[in-house]
Amino acid sequence: MSIAVVGVDIGGTKVAAASLREGRLGESVVAPTPLADGPMLVDAIVAVVRDAAGDRFDAVGIGVPSIVEFETGRVISSVNVPLADIPLRQVLGERLGVPVFVDNDATVAALAEAHDEALRPVTRHLVMLTVGTGIGGGMVLDGRIYRGCSGGAGELGHTIVGLEMSDQPVPPPTSFPQPGSLESVASGHALDRMGAEAAEREPDSELGRLRARGLPVLGSEVVAAARNGDPAALRTLDIWGQHVGIGVANAINTFDPEEVVIGGGGALAGQLLLDPVRRVARGYVVPGLVGRAVIRLARHGIRSGVLGAAMLAIHELEPLRTAVLDRATTETIIERTGGVE
């Protein structure tokens, strides 16, 4: 019987889950992310897993926007969702009755993006930037997920890209995301802020007219207005893309990957995001690396996180199943031989 798993992608605004069996990813079940406390979020995860699973599932993979101690599945630190210090692997395993594997959301998305639509590996060196409520990062280096010594590798959103220092002392740190971090200037929240500022600054623009009518001017409105040709929205989106491009340039200069992939909800902006990203990244990548890395949008789209979480479950479950079969075979041999070799 083939393995059936469920992948879960936890974001700052929604929790999505889908089943993966026989190489086919099912339809996603989506629910709002409860942000009041951890137990409510755990309840929501359990609910979407059961809704997505169908008649059977053997394991669950979870991608969280957090630093995770992978061996235990404990969330060490979490900025955008209330999961800090929760032993998520243990808690969900007890609730669901199957093995659960927990990793960073961008890390599992990177795993998915290193594979094609048929789930065949196609690249060995890849950096993933997930642009959503915040900015996450994941890496596949030399064909393997790279987690670092504590599971926190790839927090590219918290790299500092715009801190004013000149001849002054470094300002004291504040809360995360820190001012000057990539997340503070290039995340979905940053685009929300930039859109609201553009609407106030240019009242005759499409964004300004939305504001005058009392409607929200968030990132999705900026993208929609840009697609309609609104000059203020196009300028705003271009500047936002330039900010993301600096993060991409830093990733190339640091890791020399074959591919840098942009995913998450921000990638729905498509070429309006990708064009300024590529333009700026080319200018800030050191000469010896220019043109080597492919900069692209996620081939699996916004489902990279769900797919990667499901693939994580399969990758981690197979060794467990093999170990169980090996142990059962050994016990059978001992039983039949009376323990004599």
Give residue-wise pLDDT tens across range 44-80.
Answer: 999 999 999 988 899 999 999 888 999 999 999 887 8
318 confidence band (pLDDT: 50, 70, 90): confident
Whether the bond into 171 is cis, omega within 30 of 0: no
How many Å apart are CA 155 and CA 152, to the nearest integer? 7
What pLDDT is attached to residue 172?
A: 85
3-state secondary structure of 231: helix
Phi, psi of 205 (to 5 degrees): -80, 170
- 164 phi, psi to nearest 5 deg: -75, 120
Residue 337 has pLDDT above 70, yes or no: no
Q: What is the mean pLDDT of residues 282-286?
A: 94
223 token code pair? 């993208």
Q: What is the pLDDT of residue 173?
A: 87
22 Rama sector, left if φ>0, alpha if ψ -120 to 50, beta otherwise: left
Report pLDDT digits (tens) over 187-236.
Answer: 999 999 999 999 999 999 999 999 999 999 999 999 999 999 999 999 99
Of the pLDDT bands very low, low, confident and very high (cuts 50, 70, 90), residue 341 is: very low
pLDDT at 308 over 90: yes
Q: Percent of the chain at pLDDT above 70?
A: 93
Helices 219-227 & 231-255, crossing angle to 10 degrees? Answer: 110
- Predicted local confidence at residue 274, as pLDDT: 98
Q: Could you tell me the pLDDT band of residue 324, with boundaries at 50, 70 and 90?
A: very low
Confidence of residue 325 (pLDDT cuts 50, 70, 90): very low
pLDDT one-digit tens code per residue, 80-109: 899 999 999 999 999 999 999 999 988 999
| One-letter identity of residue 200 | E
Buried b / exposed e along 37-71 (16+ C-beta atoms within 10 A): ebeebbebbbebbeebbeeebbbbbbbbbbbbbbe
Q: Which helix (H) or strand (E) holds 219?
A: helix 219-227
pLDDT of residue 269: 95
Q: Which pLDDT score, from 0 to 100, does residue 204 have?
A: 94
Q: How confident is the model at residue 335 (pLDDT cuts 50, 70, 90)?
A: low
User: Out of 25-39, 72-86, 249-263, 269-283, which region has the weakest mean confidence (pLDDT)?
Assistant: 72-86
Terminal Cα distance for the chain, rounded: 32
Q: What is the mean pLDDT of the chain?
A: 90
